[in-house]
Amino acid sequence: MSTSRVSVVVVTYGRQPLLVDCVNAICQSVGVTAEVVIVDNGHDGDEVSVIEGYDEVTVIRPGANTGFAGGCNLGADRATSEFVVFINPDAIVAPEAIAHLIQPLVNDEVQVTTAAVLLLREPHLINAVGNRIHPCGVSWCGEFRKNAALLTKDIEPLLASGAAMACKREWWNLTGGFQEEFFAYYEDTEFSLRTIMAGGKIRLVHDAIVLHDYEFSKNPTKMFLVDRNRMMLVASLYRPRTLLVLSPLLLVHEIALCAFAIAGGWAPQRLRALKWMVSNREMIRRVRSRLQASRRIGDAAILRRMEVRLLPENLQFSRGAVVLQSPLEWLTRALRRVILVLEPDPVG
């Protein structure tokens, strides 16, 4: 690998005790020369003050919480190199991870790369090798808690993980970066789908190892944003005919999700997300317009690569959810088959 100059964007908010370790690991990367752009959205601690004195580090303080999406966009705007890498503040890159991550970009093989993200406290287990998504919009970590020894080759996942991903500035600028309306969660999902729809490719680089202090928390703000952004993605992604065909599946899923929200104690967040969708139709139209403007392939090409089984490995499910799985999977397969018949040519 030839030595390349890269810009690494790290967005920090709240308590991030691993931030100094994260930045130190980036600065000590082998095979690249890294500048680090820290976007301080409201960091709670003195870690930013420690790293601000590093020669390689630039700190941006927007003065308000711009969200992960807005923070990444700010960091990418300040980046000065051809390659932009995004790393979570609770992630530790291996010495050669960034060099491996950008090599396919250097060779113009793909437009976006994503790292093999392992669990920090159990590094023999996978956190995510790209992300997966169901037609209802639920997205989750690919191969969660599978044996990391199984990572023996690169793959092309449908979705990159925002915890550790990279692209050329040219592609980032061409596609418009993250859609800031998502604020946090699902911005990487939407960006990945926009990349695929624009004819781009995403690669999981199995030698690019990143350790992530992952924990799926269920705080109220997160549950609202996850639910809202999932629905906004679905409303933005498909053509009208596809939405019509998928409507029975989407309706069943939304009703079931209400029941699970009540059982799981996050019904107020579910209700808030539904109200938001009704009240913010103009914002949804803007997000949809940007996503559809990038389209070069049809919905069938995307649906072929989506999951039909909706049991994310990084979540715990009730017995009722498991029982519902078989009819939901049957309905997903049946409706997808209809769309593939209606749209046999994957080119839009």
Say what the pLDDT of residue 344 is: 72
- Percentage with pLDDT > 90 across the chain: 89
Q: How far is CA 244 from CA 123, 208, 305, in A?
A: 44, 41, 20
Say what the pLDDT of residue 323 is: 72
Q: Give the pairing type, strands 83-87 and 164-168.
A: antiparallel
Provide φ and ψ at 118, rounded to 5°.
Answer: -110, 165
- Dist CA 322 CA 312 (whole Å): 11
pTM for the whole structure: 0.95
Q: Vertex 257, ends 161 and 65: CA angle to 5°? A: 45
What pLDDT, in 10s, does the model give residues 33-64?
999 999 999 999 999 999 999 999 999 999 99
Say what the pLDDT of residue 61 is: 97
Residue 19, amino acid: L
Least confident of 34-48, 170-184, 255-269: 255-269
Q: Residue 324 — very low, low, confident or very high, per pLDDT cuts 50/70/90? A: confident
With residue 47 as reference, give the H or E element that holds it. helix 47-51
Report domain extents, the chain.
220-342
With residue 250 as reference, give the H or E element that holds it. helix 240-264
Say what the pLDDT of residue 150 is: 92
